[in-house]
Amino acid sequence: MENQTLVKEICPTTTQTWVKDGALLVDVREVDEVAQLSYDVPNLLHIPLINFEERFSEIPKDKPVVMVCKSGGRSLRATGFLVNHGYENVVNMQHGIIRWVQKGFPTKGDTTTVLGNDDGCCSSSSCC
């Protein structure tokens, strides 16, 4: 059995701390999704998952990187890809922009595109 490196994941609240400390958010959603609603953070790079293998080298290896998408699945795959290509300071943000919006974190665009997708798993204030 070959060695596998586990992908690290953080929640949107922790992501806020990473962003304040200068981390780069890499959004792997499609162009139309980003046009409707995007993260409003200072360091943001958009690389749609469909183009990720050709463009991942645009992501710096020398700074913290948080991978993001709509619900956390596509960004998890992209994070694993980066880990397998030598990136060490990269994490996936769980629950994506859906939870980001639910927590009231900064966005640009129409938040109703994701608010209807609440799965109810985080209705308590104790959730990250």
Cα 127 to Cα 22: distance, rounded to the nearest angstrom: 24
- Let me know if 127 is a catalytic residue: no
Across 64-81, b (16+ Cβ under 10 Å) vs e yields bbbbbbbbbebbbebbbb
Cα 54 to Cα 127: distance, rounded to the nearest angstrom: 36
Starting at the edge strand found earlier in the chain, the sheet holding 24-27 runs 9-10, 90-93, 65-68, 24-27, 44-46
- Active-site position among 69, 122, 127, 128: 69
| Active-site annotation, residues | 69
